[in-house]
Chain A
């Protein structure tokens, strides 16, 4: 995914290859931000702001190996900010077509993925009763397939808290699945 040598160079002050770091980091950062926020424009803003922060502070990371965790932590924190802002002006609309498409995908078992708009509707529908932290734990653990250590490093929660939040999130999502599917 991201070349460790590039990160090491940037960490040592040689930022001439930072464009390559941005290029390599954007898909992952966008994926996390979009799954968290369900809005393409907001996700792009979050990615941009996160990359600027990374450019400023890349010299302060302990080792290039922790770059992915660090990037994800910045993105998640930016998403929390956006979610707090969004909470004041909620824009939420459920679309039956997206759920039908999901049902089709489950039955067909095809390799085709869903569109961005469908992903947004489904994730926001499934996680509507979750807190931002529970949503983050669910997305990072069950969708991004990160280990509990990685999730702990990103969210700053203990493993026990992560386990509890994930249990609650899964339970809530199963209930939502019964409602929508």
Chain B
């Protein structure tokens, strides 16, 4: 074991002493210099163009300003996105009116509420309704019936000129204003 160690140590000593040498140091240097001289043309040119165009990015304060500006833009972008998302969420909670029946002029606050309740259907929140659902249905039925009666009456009057003339006369006498529903 010890002999083996000794042999190893001696071999290492010989190998350390035996420095590999080359007679062609000059050849290696010449070749390296040639390669280097050949390279710089493109290397230098590229470097000068790049330094001319983008050299300013190497300036410390410019670099720091750009970093600050980019961070600022990122913050603004995130803020804008959050505002947009918030607005979209708010809009999605709003009522969508989709009715083929034309909306007539709201003559009073109460009738406006009624019309609003009628066309909005189930989208109106329960706590916002001034009457119960059953009462509302009854009211709607009554309104529909009244509308139908009024339409029939108008039709009868239009068909009978004598009756129409008489009614207009009576209305004028009492200074009533004709209201078209």
Contact = CB atoms under 8 A, between A and B. Distances in A.
Interface of A: 18-19, 22-23, 26-27, 30-31, 34-35, 40, 43-44, 47-48, 51-52, 55-56, 102, 105-106, 111-114, 116, 118-119, 122-123, 126, 142-143, 145, 170, 173-174, 177-178, 181
Interface of B: 4-5, 7-8, 10-12, 14-22, 24-25, 27-29, 31-33, 35-36, 39, 43
A23 B14 contact: no
Contacts of B11: 102, 106, 122, 126, 177, 181
B122 to A, nearest CB: 70
Contacts, number: 94
A interface secondary structure, majority:
helix
Nearest to A15: B36
Q: Give me the 8 closest cross-chain CB pairs, A-B, nearest first.
A: A113-B18, A34-B20, A114-B18, A51-B32, A106-B10, A105-B14, A113-B17, A22-B29
Nearest to B4: A174
A48 B10 contact: no
Nearest to A170: B8
A92 to B, nearest CB: 18
A116 B7 contact: no
Contact of B21 (A116, A126, A143): A116
A27 B4 contact: no
